[in-house]
Amino acid sequence: MEAIQVEKLTKKYNELIAVDAVSFTIEKGEIFGLLGPNGAGKTTIISMLSTLLKPTSGTASVNQFSILENQDAVRKSIGIVFQDQSLDEELTAYENMDFHGRLYRIPKDNRHNKIIELLKLVGLTERKDGFVKTFSGGMRRRLEMARGLLHEPKVMFLDEPTLGLDPQTRNHLWQYIEKLNKEKEITIILTTHYMDEADRLCSKVAIIDKGKIIAMDTPEKLKEEIGADVVTIASSDIDELQSKLELLSWVKRIEKHDGLITINLQNAEKRIAEIVHLSANHGIAINSISIHKPTLEDVFLNFTGRTIREEEADHKDRMRMIRRARRR
């Protein structure tokens, strides 16, 4: 059963297209990832699906409710954790939860039981009477997740849920997300620019770049499409090395980015010796060389010719354009 259906959803700011006719479906119980660099359009898609932003064109339904015609029904059936914190720091964890429950008119006795249950689920039972201003970033994220679940939504939107958190806290938060999906059977839509996050959590991902979906499938199938090992080389004469490697018949794909050369090829362990020998014969120094199996970062590079980091380097310019367009 489909929890979300999206058809040619578009958002424009004058001539600037923030989201460009995206279409996808999400099955009930899936963890679906919207993966891409900052400024790619992920948050805009989430904002339209949660009825916070009106699309320019296209349509979508969430839990069988149209985002254009049944906005109240959509809002009642979803939970949201935004990039920016929306907790009241002067209230306790319990009070933040209780205030949310009152807004959704959850009866008092039922509300109390649900708050205790959810605080336990996210490991905050012992801090229920602690003020949010004393909480770490990871604790605040967990509390926001618990709060978003209080009214028993069928779909949960998590917009960059681990942004700015340290690796250990991110890993703990991943465990909670998996737990929520499994124990509560909630469909989760996750936006992220962390490739390892999408790879671990998501049963299906849509890779987004400049407002368009450029690839969509399971992480495993997307990586299989590359079909070869990935060799990364750092050299003091990267242009000369690239020109020599492009002449080799067994090099499947070669890209230059971030001051490195990335090559897709079969039997990489065997070919490395030949690469080193080739560079030595032409007096080209190799500073480092490594082999790894394809990752979602490699998938993004394969479809765009650029890495996530390179795309994010243009993010500030893109955001300035959007802000200027909104003011007109």
pLDDT 10s digits, 175-232: 888 988 888 889 999 999 888 899 999 999 999 999 999 999 999 999 888 777 889 9
CB 307 within 8 A of CB 234: no
Tell me the β-bridge partners of 182.
none
CB 189 within 8 A of CB 49: yes
pLDDT at residue 25, as a whole number? 96
Considering only residues 212 and 145, tell me which one the structure prediction assigns the higher pLDDT: 212
Q: Contacts from 102-109 at CB under 8 Å and sequence distance 24+?
A: 104/76, 104/150, 104/151, 106/150, 106/151
| Mean pLDDT of the region 121-138 | 93
Instruction: Show the domains of the chain with their CATH numbers.
Output: 2-222 (3.40.50.300), 228-293 (3.30.70.920)
Strand order in the sheet with 2-13: 16-27, 2-13, 57-62, 65-66
Could you report the per-residue pLDDT of 74-104, keeping only the tens digit for each? Answer: 999 999 988 888 899 999 999 999 999 999 9
**C-beta neighbour count of 223 within 10 angstroms:** 19
Surface-to-core class of residue 295, CB atoms within 10 Å of its CB (0-12 exposed, 13-18 middle, 19+ buried): middle
pLDDT at residue 184, as a whole number? 82
> What length does the chain have?
328
Share of the chain above pLDDT 70, in %: 94
Cα torsion 231, 233, 237, 242 to 10°: value is 10
